[in-house]
Amino acid sequence: MTPTLFDVYDILGLAVDGDLVTCRLIKDLRKFIEDNLGIVLDGNLASLRHTWLKMNFRELPPDATPFFEDIKGVNTYAWGATALAFLYRSLGKACAFKRRHFSGLATLMQCWSYEHIMHTRPILRSIPQNIPRAKRWEPPKKYHGNPKNLMPPIRQEIDNLQPNEVIWNPYFNPDKVISDDRQQAFQTAMCPTTLIFDDIVEPYMPDLICHQFGAKQGISKNPLVVNKIASWLSRHDRIMSDIQQDTANRLPSEEYKAWYNLVSHPLIHNVANSPKDILQPHIHEEEEVVPAHEPQYIMRPRGYEDQLIRLY
């Protein structure tokens, strides 16, 4: 499972279709700020802090529009694809050894887990239909208790998660009629492409997560090897059109399991705890968790990717 473009669209209300968000070099930052924000800054200037922008521009005056460069073109960009590209890159960094910080869009990741995983969700709020779904999970104003005490049981719940305990598509039923804009966003989310934000380039492969689109999971194709920008511009030409409706209660076929065991890491677990096959139906039983002072993981040896290339 992974956040998709449709998750971004429904949770945050950001457009997932449009132009790429790229940046250009600003030679004179002081002049750029003065021209676009209408403020003359003193002293040495190398960057702007978000806290300063929030303090000075939390509420804009009615005549502020002329100060912003190309403000009318803002709604032509795929901000949702930008947010997802940054999240993918941040998750990749967060998995690195000894990495302590996560710089991605935490709101999206947190609300995505609430939408798809029942064990971790707080109390559901009622919101109007035109409001982004992230507002459904707005926490109460006051929080009591130590959140660190919640981590061990939450980790245990996620480790024991079974396919029938996941809400694969929480947004609408397959037979439900949805609006044209949501249908367009859903179709875009089913297009293998490349997500680009400035110097960040991340592959977007929905064919790896067909269950989230109500389809049977098949063996994935090779990643795209094309021009990255052309991949985004021609994304609708590669919509997944050959997928089949899932009728196996989300359980994979034996053919898929054999392929997955060959090319991936079926189980990554602490060696102090016995593994279990998460791809098979499972009845919850009380399990004794053996604590380990140092995490140890079962991984495949280096070079197995080269072996797979020779096989194909």
What pLDDT digit, counting tens, does each position of 199-214 carry?
899 999 998 888 888 8
CB neighbour burial string for 151-171, b if at least 16 within 10 angstroms, e if fewer:
eeeeeeeeebbebeebebbbb
The contacts of residue 209 (CB under 8 Å, 6+ apart) are: 1, 2, 4, 217
Handedness of CA 273, 163, 103, 204 (dihedral sign): positive
Residue 72 has pLDDT above 80, yes or no: no
Tokens of 170: 């929480």
Share of the chain above pLDDT 70, in %: 72
Residue 98: CA count within 13 A, CB half-sphere: 0
12 pLDDT band (50/70/90 cuts)?
very high
Average pLDDT of the chain is: 76
- Taking alpha carbons only, the member of 21, 71, 68, 26 closest to residue 45 is 26
Residue 126 has pLDDT above 90, yes or no: no
Tokens of 133: 């779904």
Residue 81 has pLDDT above 70, yes or no: yes
> What would the mean pLDDT of 293-305 be, rounded to a whole number?
36
Ramachandran angles phi, psi of 217, nearest 5°? -80, 120
Q: From the CB of residue 133, how many other CB atoms can be counted at a distance below 10 Å?
A: 19
Residue with tokens 């802090």: 49
Residue 14 has pLDDT above 80, yes or no: yes
Whether residue 290 contacts residue 275, with contact meaning beta carbons closer than 8 Å, is answered with no
Tokens of 168: 């694969």
Residue 299 has pLDDT above 70, yes or no: no
pLDDT attached to residue 167: 87
**Whole-structure pTM value:** 0.73
Query: Looking at per-residue confidence, does 257 or 190 come out higher?
Result: 190
Whether residue 223 contacts residue 205, with contact meaning beta carbons closer than 8 Å, is answered with yes
pLDDT attached to residue 142: 58
- Taking alpha carbons only, the member of 239, 230, 182 closest to residue 210 is 239
Residues 211, 245: Cα–Cα separation, whole Å: 9
Share of the chain above pLDDT 90, in %: 16
298 pLDDT band (50/70/90 cuts)?
very low
pLDDT per residue over 93-108, tens digit each?
887 777 777 878 888 9
Amino acid in position 45: L
Amino acid in position 41: L
- Taking alpha carbons only, the member of 17, 14, 19, 28 closest to residue 70 is 19
Residues 210, 216: Cα–Cα separation, whole Å: 6
